Amino acid sequence: MNRSDPGCSGTPSRCRNYMGGVRLSIEKLELVSISGALPRLNDALAGCLQSGVFHIENAAKLLGNTEDSGSGRAEPNPFAEPLKALSELDLRKIRIDAAAEPLPGEFTPEQILQETERISNSMQEVRQQLADTRKKITEYESSTIHLKHLDQADIDLGELVKCRHIVYRFGRMPEENMLKLDFYSDEGFVFQAYHTAHEYVWGFYFATPERILTVDAIMKGLLFERYELPEDVSGTPEQALAEIQSRLTEKKKLLGELEQQEKEIYGSEAELLSRMYRFSKYQSEIYRLRSQCVTMKDKFNLMGYIPAAEKETFRKYIDRIPEITAVYETPRPDSRVQPPVRLKNGWFSKPFSMFVEMYGLPNYNGYNPTAFVAVTYTLLFGIMFGDLGQGIVLALIGLFLSKKKGITLGGVMARIGVSSALFGTLYGSVFGYEDLLDPMWEKAGVPWLPLKAMENMNVFVYGAVGLGAVIIIVSMLINIAVNLRRRNYTESVFGNNGIAGLAFFSCVMLLIVGLVTGKQLMPKGAAVAVIIVTLLLMFFREPLGHRLAHKRYESEGLADFIAGNFFECFEFLIGYTSNTISFIRVGGFVFSHAGLMAVVMTIADMIGKDHKSIVTVIIGNLIVMGFEGLIVGIQVMRLEFYEIFSRCYDGDGKPFTPVSVSFDDFSENKQSEQTAKV
C-alpha cells in the first residue's frame, strides 16, 4: 500500500502554513485523499469513522469535478429497514454499548430483519398482554378516582348498566353551570348531582335512546366531562369502588409478572440486539457518507481533513485497509471548499472560545481572536464590576461550575471573578463596604489608592474612553496584519480599519488629548494634514487597493463612485465617534455598581445594627451580583461583538466536525443521545 505525504516532506519550512505565515491559535490540518477499488469504499469509510478525527468533504467540489461522477447521489440504504424494525422494539430494556466496535460484515440486512422478527414474535403475546393490562390499570385508576365522588350515593350501578330504555352518562360539570340546566327543563333529560368539590359537580344525566344525542350536545355546551364506568361494575358506588380496587391490585401484580417475562426475553437477546443495532447504525452512517465520495467505474475517491497532530491516530485505522491509497497534503489555498477550523487555545483563553463560536469561527487562514477576547473581556468586566468580596464569590462559583459540573461558562466566571476582585482591591470595595481597605492603602503609601468611583468621576470617564481608543487601535492593527497576509490591500492599507484609518483615528485622538490636557502631543498643522490625506486615501481605497494588487478596477460611473464613497466615508466618521463613545459605559457601570451598593448599605443602616442589617447586606449583595453581573456580562459582550469584532474579524469559518456514529440512548436516564467514535 502506497503512502505519500508531500505536505510535510523535505525541510521543516514546508510544514508551515501554506499562506506563508504560522497560523496562530488555529490547529493545523492536513487534506487527505483516499482512493482505491470501489469494493473497498465501505472499509475506507469505516476506518475514517473509527479514527474519530476525520472531517469529510465533498470530493467532487474539492477536485473541481463538473462531470457526472457519481458524487452526491443518495444511494439506497439497505440498513434503513432493519434499523426501523429494531427501533420498534423496546430497546430501553437492553444496554447499548456505544463504545463497542461492530465487526465489519457481521450481519446482512436480511439477517437483522429475520432475527428482529423472531425476537418480536417470541414476545408478541407478552407485549399484547402488557398493553391490555396497562390499559385496564388506567381504566381502573380513573374509575377509582371518580367513584370516590359517589361513595355516599345509594344507587345500584349494575342496574344502570343493564338499562336498555334509559341511557345514562356519568361525569362532572362546573358548579356554576348548574343554574343553566333550568333553561333545558323541556329537553327530556334529568341530571342527578351527587357530590360537589373543587368547583365541580359529579353526577349522572339520564335520557331515552332517541334523545341522548341531543342531550349529549347540550351537556357538552355546559362543559360536562364524561367518564366511562366499567361495564361489569355492580352494587353501590362504595361496593363497586372496593371491587375495582381489588381488581386494580390484581392487575398490578399481573403487570409485574408480565414485565418480568418481557425482561427475561430481552435479557436473553440483549447481546444480539445491541450488536445488530450498533451495526445497523454504523452501516447507515457509512451509506450516508458515500454520497460525499466520487465514484468512477470501479474506483472511488474520498477526501477530507484531519488535524496534523493526530495524523498517526488516523493512519492506524487507514493503513490496515488493503488496496487503497492515502495521500496527505497541506490544504489548498485555491480550493473551492474552505477548510474547516478547530481552535487551539491556551489554558486562560479556552473558555472564551464559546463567545467566538457564538459570533462565528474564523477562516482557516485567518485570525483566532479568542486570546484577545479573553484579555479584553476579563479586563473590561473587572473594571465595570470591581468588588473584592463579590469577585471572590463569583470566582468560586465559576470554579465549582467548571470543575464539578463541566460548564464552560464556569471557566469564564472564574477568570472574570478574579479580575473583579483585583479591581475591587484598587477601588477599596469589599461587598459594598467602600472604606474597609483604606487602612491597607494608607500603610502602602500609595496616595491615589483606593480609587473611589464617586470621587474620581473624570478619571473613570476619560480612562474609559482612553481604554476604548487603545482597544480600537489594537483591533485595527490586527485587521491590518490579517489582511496584509491575505494580500487584501484595499482593507489593510486604505480601509477605515487599515493603515489609513489607523493614522486618521490616531491623529484625531491626539488632537482630543491635547484639547483636554492643554498640551499638544502633535502639531495641529501636521495632524490636520494627516487627517485630510488619510480621508482621501479612504475615499479612493478601492482603485488604490486594486492598483497596489496589480488588478484592474472597474467603476460603475464617476457620479456613483463619488456619491457612494462620500457616504461611506461619512459612515466611517460616525463609526469612529460612536465606537469610541460606546466605551463610556465602562466607566458608567463603575458608578452604577458603587451606587447600587450605596443603596444597599443605606437600607441596612436604616434597618439597624442587628442581625436584620446583616441579612439585608447579604441579600443586597446577592441581588447586585445576579442582576448587575448579568447586565455587565452582556454589555461587555456587546463591546466585543460591535466595537472590536466589527473591525478585525469576519467569523465566516466552518467548524471541524469529525464524522461519527450517533447512537440513541434508550436507557431510563435523561440523556437522549450520545455520540460515540466507533
Give yes or no for a contact between 587 and 464, defined as CB atoms under 8 angstroms apart.
yes
Q: How confident is the model at residue 66 (pLDDT cuts 50, 70, 90)?
A: very low
Helices (H), 385-455: 388-403, 408-427, 438-444
Do residues 323 and 371 share a domain?
no
Number of folded domains that form the chain: 3
H/E segment holding residue 515: helix 499-517
Residue 81: inside a domain: no
Q: State yes or no: pLDDT of 524 exceeds 60.
A: yes
CATH number, domain with residue 3: 3.30.70.120
Distance, CA of 250 to CA of 255 (rounded, Å):
9
In terms of Cα–Cα distance, which of 152, 123, 163 is closest to 273? 123
Q: What would the pLDDT profile of 102-119 be if each residue is shown by its tens digit?
A: 665 678 899 999 999 999
Q: What does the H/E/C string look like for 313-380?
A: HHHHHHCCCCCEEEEEECCCCCCCCCCCECECCCCCCHHHHHHHHHHCCCCCCCCCCHHHHHHHHHHH
Residue 92: inside a domain: no
Do residues 593 and 464 share a domain?
yes
Distance, CA of 258 to CA of 268 (rounded, Å):
16
Do residues 327 and 453 share a domain?
no
Do residues 573 and 614 share a domain?
yes
Share of the chain above pLDDT 90, in %: 32
Give yes or no for a contact between 316 and 48, defined as CB atoms under 8 angstroms apart.
no
CA separation, residue 606 to residues 433, 467, 618, 619 (Å): 16, 39, 15, 15
**Listed residues 201, 233, 253: the one ending a domain:** 253
Give yes or no for a contact between 35 and 298, defined as CB atoms under 8 angstroms apart.
no
* Cα 550-556-557 angle, rounded to 5 deg: 110
Residue 287: inside a domain: no
Most confident of 120-124, 268-272, 315-319: 315-319
**Listed residues 200, 235, 253: the one ending a domain:** 253
Residue 163: inside a domain: yes
Q: What would the pLDDT profile of 410-436 be if each residue is shown by its tens digit?
A: 999 999 999 999 999 999 999 988 888
Residue 265: inside a domain: no
Q: State yes or no: pLDDT of 9 exceeds 60.
A: no
Q: State yes or no: pLDDT of 4 exceeds 50.
A: no
pLDDT at 340: 92
Give yes or no for a contact between 291 and 72, defined as CB atoms under 8 angstroms apart.
yes
Give yes or no for a contact between 665 and 674, defined as CB atoms under 8 angstroms apart.
yes
Most confident of 72-86, 211-225, 537-551, 609-623: 211-225
Do residues 422 and 561 share a domain?
yes
Share of the chain above pLDDT 70, in %: 90
CATH number, domain with residue 155: 3.30.70.2750
Do residues 499 and 591 share a domain?
yes
For the record, the C-alpha cell of 39 comes out as 469494493
Do residues 382 and 303 share a domain?
no
Q: What would the pLDDT profile of 127-136 be if each residue is shown by its tens digit?
A: 889 999 998 8
Query: Environment class of residue 67 by beta-carbon count within 10 Å: exposed (0-12), middle (13-18) or buried (19+)?
Result: exposed
Do residues 643 and 660 share a domain?
no
Q: How confident is the model at residue 372 (pLDDT cuts 50, 70, 90)?
A: very high
Classified as helix, coil or strand, 24 is coil
Do residues 450 and 566 share a domain?
yes
For the record, the C-alpha cell of 24 comes out as 496562530
Residue 78: inside a domain: no
Q: What would the pLDDT profile of 11-59 be if each residue is shown by its tens digit?
A: 333 333 333 334 457 899 999 999 999 999 988 998 999 899 999 998 8
Do residues 609 and 510 share a domain?
yes
Which residues constitute the domain of residue 455?
Answer: 350-648
Provide mean pLDDT across the span 391-419.
94
For the record, the C-alpha cell of 96 comes out as 447499548
Classified as helix, coil or strand, 299 is strand
Classified as helix, coil or strand, 487 is coil
Displacement of CA 82 from its chain's centroid (Å):
32
Displacement of CA 311 from its chain's centroid (Å):
29
pLDDT at 383: 94
Provide mean pLDDT across the span 287-300.
89
- Dihedral of CA atoms 504, 509, 510, 515 in degrees, nearest 10, equals 130
Q: State yes or no: pLDDT of 238 exceeds 50.
A: yes
Which of the residue ranges 440-454, 566-580, 603-617 would you say has the lowest mean pLDDT?
A: 603-617
Mean of per-residue pLDDT scores for the chain: 84
Do residues 333 and 412 share a domain?
no
Residue 116: inside a domain: no
Do residues 17 and 49 share a domain?
yes
Q: What would the pLDDT profile of 252-284 be if each residue is shown by its tens digit?
A: 999 999 989 888 888 888 888 888 988 888 889
**Listed residues 253, 282, 311: the one ending a domain:** 253
Residue 85: inside a domain: no
